[in-house]
Structure 1
Amino acid sequence: MSYYRGMICENVSLKGDQGTPITAYVAKPSGAGPFPGVVLVHHLPGWSEFYIETTRRFAHHGYLAICANLYERAGQGNPDDVAAKVRAEGGISDAQMIGDTAAAVQWMRSQPNHNGKVGIFGSCSGGRHAFIYSCRNRDVDACVELWGGRVVMAKEELNDKTPVAPIDLTKDLSCPLLGLFGNDDRAPSPEQVNLHEAELKKQGKSYEFYRYDGAGHGFFYWHRPLYSPEQAMDGWGKVFAFLARHLAA
């Protein structure tokens, strides 16, 4: 694997769900490529520094990377304030997320130095969203789900924004799945991860799950007390190995 010290980073405009303009952050490695692509689906803390930095991290590792601002309709400004508003409104709808993410995938596939392969990556609510997208659409080649919350949902948790439990979409999963989970997490709990895995097995899907002792929710998040360095570094190794296998031209 080559590491790309040079890269181009910029904002681009996408036609999101129902044609609504949204902004996305892009990081491209220097050089002619062709490069595989990664579409990042940010978490409920929003279009945050962690996700902007992670977009650049993928470019450093030789991927075209894009992260759309799924919360742009809720306003501009401090990502924490925007995310708080979105959280108070019960999050965004799964349908809107799919429309916005499809625009990011389409942007990726239109790039002249793209190799034709796209992975999707998300954590927490973004992990849930990445899994949903990979079940609802057939235009991604690999899915990375980090501690996706509410993949397993009780009927009373369903509503207009989240009308179907993601686990019930498993039969339609269209690509290989990598899942990373902390055994001290409660959302998803180890019991919910067991159900998630059992349904993947039942449906005969290609997947890899790794579970970490001593790690809770968000153990990649270097800016928070829940960061678990040893488990996070091992997890990043799993992510890059998985994507290298599935996104080669």
Structure 2
Amino acid sequence: MSMDDRPALGRRGFVMTSLITGFTLATARAEAAPIHTDAAGLDVGEVQMPVADGTLPTYFARPAGVANPPVVVVVEEIFGVHEYIKDVCRRLAKLGYFAVAPELYARLADLSKMTDPHEIIAKVISKAPDATMLSDLSHTVDWAIAQKGDADRLAVLGFCRGGRDVWLFAEHDKRLKAAVAFYGPVAGTTSAIQPTNPIDRAADLNCPLLGLYGGKDPSIHASDVYAAQAKAAAAGKTVEIIYYPDAGHGFHADYRPSYNAADAAAAWAQAIAWLRKYDIG
């Protein structure tokens, strides 16, 4: 299947049928211009990616003319696959990766029209079953391999809620070789559709995981993060945690007031070094 072949699967039940244009409306913008990575030398675009019950709008970026590039699945924040997530994909593609970001919340709401992050959490994030998220991410890997991504060089990288999903996906999919979680919560409230926190299954990690956290982030307790690391280590798993003392939550998000340019650059360098350490790129 080529990236131009749109599978003829049903769209019933999917609210978002295309990705956000520009940036999310649900968070304040910083005055400084966000980073923009051009697409020169890349193949980029939006596709409808097949999943169990239809297709998800998905952004991809890959180096043009490169056979079997390593694959990085990029997992969004709560705000959708908007320009920031797309730019992250292009940054990765410039480094030789085939980056793929599915819109995991397409079934639940049109995130392009939502302006209140609290409403997003209440009406979208809390309603998203983890089993569906894990299935969608596994289908993302399947799709990338079908597009001639390297099946032996697979990684996942995500931000905020997506950082949590990185932990869970690394505990779920045995094909992964590396994982990077930017400020991903590892503990919290559970529910019937979100029954497990990352800390609960830290011993089941299938690949080395790097966690990048802000020391001034009040929403994630360092004690939980280090407890998850210890649980993984006791099971012989590799987890490295790096804290940036002056950074808050969302410190990598260059379109938000929380952006910390120095720590974002340092954390990004650590993320890429982690992928390369485990032969992803």
The answer, yes or no, to whether TM exceeds 0.5 is yes
Percent of counterpart pairs with the same letter? 29
Structure 1 unaligned residues grouped into runs of 5+: none
2:231 corresponds to = 199
Report the Cα distance in structure 2 between the residues aligned to 1:53 and 1:82, rounded to whole angstroms. 23
Report the Cα distance in structure 1 between the residues aligned to 2:149 and 2:93, rounded to whole angstroms. 13
Q: Which amino acid aligns with 1:68?
A: P
Structure 2 unaligned residues grouped into runs of 5+: 1-38
1:221 equivalenced with 2:258 (yes/no): no
Q: Which amino acid aligns with 1:46?
A: G
Alignment: residue pair count? 241
RMSD: 2.0
Report the Cα distance in structure 2 between the residues aligned to 1:158 and 1:88, rounded to whole angstroms. 14
Could you tell me which of 139, 142, 150 is aligned with 2:178?
142
Could you tell me which of 147, 152, 155 is aligned with 1:116?
152
Where 2:202 maps in the other structure, the secondary structure is: helix
Report the Cα distance in structure 1 between the residues aligned to 2:153 and 2:231, rounded to whole angstroms. 26
Where 1:178 maps in the other structure, the secondary structure is: strand
1:171 corresponds to = 203
Which range moved further: 182-191 or 70-79? 70-79
Report the Cα distance in structure 2 between the residues aligned to 1:229 and 1:135, rounded to whole angstroms. 31
Where 1:188 maps in the other structure, the secondary structure is: coil
Q: Which amino acid aligns with 1:239?
A: A
Could you tell me which of 125, 128, 142 is aligned with 1:106?
142
2:273 corresponds to = 241
- Which TM-score applies when normalising by structure 2? 0.80
1:12 equivalenced with 2:47 (yes/no): yes
2:98 corresponds to = 64
Considering fraction of residues, name the structure with more strand. 1
Which range moved further: 72-81 or 169-178? 72-81
Is the alpha carbon distance of 1:177 and 1:51 closer, same or farther for their aligned partners in structure 2, counting shifts above 3 Å?
same
Where 1:116 maps in the other structure, the secondary structure is: coil
- 8 A contact 2:166–2:179 mirrored in 1: yes
Is the alpha carbon distance of 1:199 and 1:79 closer, same or farther for their aligned partners in structure 2, counting shifts above 3 Å?
farther
